[in-house]
Amino acid sequence: MQKTENPEDITSSGVVKLRTDSISAGISIKEGVLNVENNIRVLLVEDEENMRELIKIAFKKENFDTIEAIDGKQGLNLFKMNGADIVILDIMLPEIDGWTVCREIRKVSNVPIILLTARGEEFDKLFGFELGADDYLVKPFSPKELIARVRALMRRAEIKINDSAPCFKVGDIVIDRLSREVTANEKEISLTNKEYELLCFLAANPKIVFTREQLLLKVWGYEQYGDPRTVDTHIKKLREKLGDYSSYISTMWGVGYKFEVPK
């Protein structure tokens, strides 16, 4: 595995600035819909030309700006020079492999990264998440699927910005992140650790529908990337404990769950 020459260069070339650029680029969420006033800039690192073309055409339709790299070394250099709002990264690449590119980018940036792997290729998703990848897709995949993943990650990246308030109120529910206390209409609600984290995540991201798989990933972490019924069980318990406020969490049949204060 090759190492990049100088990770500091990446920082000094303005990756930190880049993140704020992408935030100020006018991405906003209204009623759970991602609104992008300026285009999402995707760095696509993929050595197969056909695959690059396919992805590029799909992204163009969505008004994403695609920067292409044909190997890992070029990918890292382009990231260094231009940054990106999201990185789509093939694993088997000439020059520097995708794992290494992922690790090097993570040293300097929290840009969302989606890994691509070919069916039949040995792929260790846990290793990918450990390296800091946010998601992965197995080829062949539909462009629609890729676009859905990109949008989901862009939402999450945006969400993190508003995630820092130590105490926040949603409807009659107050969540205090410092003491991890939850009160509903000033009455304390006793929650388990996971129930608390699930509520906290949903309430911090209101009006957005999350699939059970997304909740497993966000709330449980990849270790339990597995049984979606875990989410159902916790939602059920959480609703019971919320009592009069159980309707704050709604089930979107066949899709997932969302948090919304009823009007």
Among the candidate windows 15-23, 44-52, 185-193, 224-232, which touches Ca ion by CB under 5 A?
44-52
134 is a contact residue toward Ca ion (CB under 5 A): no
Region binding Ca ion by CB under 5 A among candidate stretches 22-30, 32-40, 83-91, 120-128:
83-91
Q: List Cα–Cα distances, 186 to 132, 134, 158, 261, in angstroms.
A: 39, 37, 30, 16
User: Interacting stretch for Ca ion, rule CB under 5 A, among 73-81, 84-92, 136-144, 179-187?
Assistant: 84-92
Q: Which residue in the set 15, 42, 45, 47 belongs to the binding site for Ca ion (CB under 5 A)?
A: 47
Q: Whole-number minimum distance, CB 102 to Ca ion, in Å?
A: 14
SS in 3 state form for 108-151?
Answer: HCCCCEEEEEECCCCCCHHHHHHCCCCEEEEECCCHHHHHHHHH
* DSSP annotation string for 181-204: EEEETTEEE---HHHHHHHHHHHH
The number of angstroms, rounded, from the C-alpha of 162 to the middle of its chain's C-alpha atoms is: 15
DSSP string, 46-67: -S-HHHHHHHHHHHHHTT-EEE
Count of positions on this chain that bind Ca ion (CB under 5 A): 3
Give the nearest distance from C-beta 92 to Ca ion in angstroms.
Answer: 4
Q: How far is the CB of 77 from Ca ion (least distance, A)?
A: 18
Q: Min. distance of Cβ 131 from Ca ion in angstroms?
A: 17
Please identify, using beta-carbon distances, which residue of 70 and 208 lies nearer to Ca ion: 70
**Least CB distance from residue 108 to Ca ion, whole Å?**
24
- Closest to Ca ion by CB, 91 or 175: 91
What letter would DSSP give residue 163?
A: G
State the Cα–Cα distance between residues 157 and 152, nearest whole angstrom: 9
Q: Of 193, 172, 180, 187, nearest to 238 (Cα)?
A: 193
Q: Which is nearer to Ca ion, 67 or 101 (CB)?
A: 101
Interactions with Ca ion, residue window 86-105 (CB under 5 A): 90, 92
CB of 95 to Ca ion, least distance (A): 11
Burial 117-148 (b: 16+ CB within 10 A, else e): beeeeebeeeebbebebbbbeeeeeeeeebbe
Task: Compare residues 61 and 119 and give the one whose CB is closer to Ca ion.
Answer: 119
The residues binding Ca ion (CB under 5 A) are 47, 90, 92
